[in-house]
Amino acid sequence: MAWYGSRTSELNDLLNRANEGAPDQVRRALTSGIANATKAAEGALGALADYAERVSAGNLGTQRKWEDRCRSAITDISRCFGDAAKDHTLTPAQQLFWYQALAHEEAFFEKLSKVRTPQLHDDLLVHQDTLNKMLGELWDKWTYLLSKDVAFETDERKAVREVAQLAEKLVGRLEPLAGKLREHTSRLTANGLRKVQAVLEKFGEHGGKVANELLSRVFGIDIPEGVEVKDIIDLVQGSAQYMEADLGTVRSQIALYKSLVQAELGSVLLLFTNTRKDVERYRNDNDLGKARVWLDQAKGALSDWASSVATSGQRSDASAFRDKIAAALDTDWKLTEELDSKFRDKFKGVFIAPLGDDTLEQLVEGRMFRQELEEVTRKGVHSRARELASNLQSQTSSELDNFFRQFDDLVARAPDEIREMAKMKNEEFKRAVKDKLRERIDRMLPVIRLLAELFAPSNLQREFSRDELERAVK
């Protein structure tokens, strides 16, 4: 490309006018000097344009190269002028032309050396390179964060599902408990009735001699063999033990879940929030608007230089040179815009505020855990345990009263000789049964109440909350 064509023509025209009347030898020397000087200027501008087109993030330092090349151009041009004029006597017109031309050429490159466009171009490329690297690094980091987060959430879901399975087992224990108690009570009553009947039959055969012994065996305070409440007591006691064990398991799963949440907060989500802060700081310092300022300043500096040079020929060549450098700047600016747009599209709502709902859900999985908890709640442990805790004692007592009424009827029909003793023993027996059963049920009720409280929907939501995770991410 003819970088200095207009100025070369301009210099030759001015030299031709100044050469009028000068010796041919001098005229040839000065013409050769102008050719060499403009060739040096042409080479310098070409080198500067090449710097602008070849500059990259891995090939910076353009400002220094630019300044060095301008200084070497001044040196080369000065030598060309000096070599051409030495050993020759110039006419006044030639002297005036020669000094003005040299001053203008030196000023042209001196001003160009001070233009900050190369440094601004470097700054733009550093911004572009950093943005490009951040794209890759952030995508790798985001992929890593999601994979680690999924690992935590898998273990957290496992804890919730363990509770759901326990809830199902507990329903299996709670739901039939009252029915089983009725079944065992019925069997107790049947056994007792048979024993009372046996007393009456024995009385008919042997009279009062054996009556006291038989009544004591049947209605003894220690609950005699064959009429004992062992099955009922074992049922209640066994259920209480199972429930206490399940209660401990639920608590351990809650503790495990909370420890996993804390680990997630201290690793995955801490890394995420710190990364968001880093990105925010970077974008505050290096956003696209600032890069646009660098572009405008780079172009503006060249335009100011092009309009400030001394002659019309220089201004024409300077404008063409400015446009060439501006085209290189525009090419890099377009790539910067594309990268910024790609960055925004990929990380908007993730690492670029505000946080998106999809990102929040990916990191916290609030909806998913609410669904998991709904599965636990649907088992109905809370309502069944609460109802059982409220009614078990009274229902059991009522069932016993119903069944013991048959004892009362049978004792009322006992022979006169043993009726009063039978009634007394019957009452003692009923009290003993009720007291022992009430004692066991009283021990079990706190466990049932704790289960009802633990499985209350509001309590489950609090224990298996995702609120702390959401606050950390936001």
109 and 183 in a single domain? The answer is no
**Domain-embedded: residue 290:** no
The per-residue pLDDT for 282 is 81
266 and 387 in a single domain? The answer is yes
109 and 197 in a single domain? The answer is no
The per-residue pLDDT for 459 is 92
What kind and span of H or E run contains 452? helix 416-454
The per-residue pLDDT for 293 is 92
The per-residue pLDDT for 13 is 96
159 and 180 in a single domain? The answer is yes
245 and 194 in a single domain? The answer is yes
Q: Residue 249 corresponds to which tokens in the numbers above?
A: 């398991």
- Please, are residues 466 and 257 in contact by the beta-carbon 8 Å criterion? no
149 and 31 in a single domain? The answer is no
Domain boundary among 337, 353, 369: 353
Domain boundary among 333, 353, 373: 353
26 and 141 in a single domain? The answer is no
Q: Which domain holds residue 143?
A: 137-278+359-473
Q: Give pTM, 2 decimals.
A: 0.69
Residues 6+ apart with CB under 8 A from 414: 199, 200, 203, 422
Q: Residue 126 corresponds to which tokens in the numbers above?
A: 């550093």
Sign for the pseudo-dihedral over CA of 367, 371, 376, 378: positive
**Domain-embedded: residue 82:** yes
Residues of the chain with pLDDT under 70: 1, 174-240, 399, 403, 410, 414
The per-residue pLDDT for 311 is 96
The per-residue pLDDT for 268 is 92
The per-residue pLDDT for 210 is 45
229 and 311 in a single domain? The answer is no
287: helix, strand or coil: coil
Number of domains in the chain: 2
The per-residue pLDDT for 242 is 74
**Domain-embedded: residue 126:** no
What is the C-alpha to C-alpha distance for residues 68 and 90, in angstroms, rounded to an integer? 32
Q: Residue 166 corresponds to which tokens in the numbers above?
A: 């326990």
Q: At what angle do helices 416-454 and 381-412 cross, to 10 degrees?
A: 180
Q: At what angle do helices 92-113 and 5-18 cross, to 10 degrees?
A: 160
- Please, are residues 269 and 473 in contact by the beta-carbon 8 Å criterion? yes
- Count CB neighbours of 27 within 10 A: 18
The per-residue pLDDT for 228 is 46
264 and 379 in a single domain? The answer is yes
Domain boundary among 353, 386, 418: 353
The per-residue pLDDT for 208 is 46
**Domain-embedded: residue 288:** no
